[in-house]
Amino acid sequence: MYGRPTILFPLALLALLALLTLWIDHTVQAPEPKPAGSTRHDPDYFLKNFVLSKTDVSGNLQYMLAAISMTHYPDDDSTTLERPRFTQYGVGKPYTQIEGQRGLISSNGETVEFMDNVKVVRQATAEKGEMTMLTKSLKIYPHKDLATTDQPVVITQAPKTVIHATGMIFDKKQKTVTLLKRVRVHYENPNPPKAAVKSKATGKKAVDKKPAGNAEKKAVKKSSAKR
């Protein structure tokens, strides 16, 4: 069983990527397809250095997509992205951002893939530190509510939790995260118990904020004896 922060993290990821697929489909409409006899993989339209954003009825920013370029190919209805960065916002909620060197949206948005140095970040809150996930590629299947990778992943939860694994499957319907193999977890308690030192003079326990080494303990005893 994995920690709750690890399970909650991909939930926002899958939701925002599903919305990204639908958003691109409705925001950028392709022109009429080429005749059926054409089998060349030529683009029919492209965008350069663009930023697309969407707000709610109150004018609050909901989503933002930025990329160096977007290119659509009519023969297989695919869309490629160069240096894509997609960010989801929410009123009173931390933002979640995913970026990579390349992106690919398949026909009808069935698969959304971010590739090369993929980084997913969930903003820190007052209760939780920033969480990031690093991997080489991440495939999203919006219609199946799945997110998968067969590449190594590193999940970091501030301040000191780090999870390494090879391969990951997130199932939104089942609300499960499966780390496939070579799983390693490093965890440090951000609030370790304070060391208690008993005073000979008072017979009461004095709380030492830092765990005392042998030299520090001897110094404390010596000081108590003089009193």
pLDDT block averages, 10 residues each, the chain of length 227: 48 56 56 56 87 85 87 89 87 84 85 90 82 90 82 89 91 83 86 63 53 44 43
> Contact at 8 Å (CB) between 31 and 44?
yes
* This prediction's pTM: 0.64
> 24 is written with which tokens?
């691109």
What SS3 class is residue 225?
helix
Amino acid letter, 41: H
Query: Which pLDDT score is estimated for 225?
Result: 43
DSSP 158: T
**Residue 192: alpha-carbon gap to chain centroid:** 27
CATH architecture of 4-186: Sandwich (2.60)
Helix%, strand%, coil% for the chain, nearest 5: 20, 50, 35
> 153 is written with which tokens?
């992943």
Q: For 77-204, where are the E strands, in sequence order? A: 78-82, 85-90, 93-99, 102-105, 112-122, 131-141, 146-157, 161-171, 176-186, 195-198
Query: Which pLDDT score is estimated for 183?
Result: 93
CATH 2.60.450.10: which residues of the chain? Answer: 4-186
> Contact at 8 Å (CB) between 207 and 198?
no
- For residue 94, how many other CB atoms are within 10 A of its CB? 17
If we measure between CA atoms, which residue out of 42, 109, 31, 105 comes closest to residue 75? 42
Query: Which pLDDT score is estimated for 41?
Result: 82
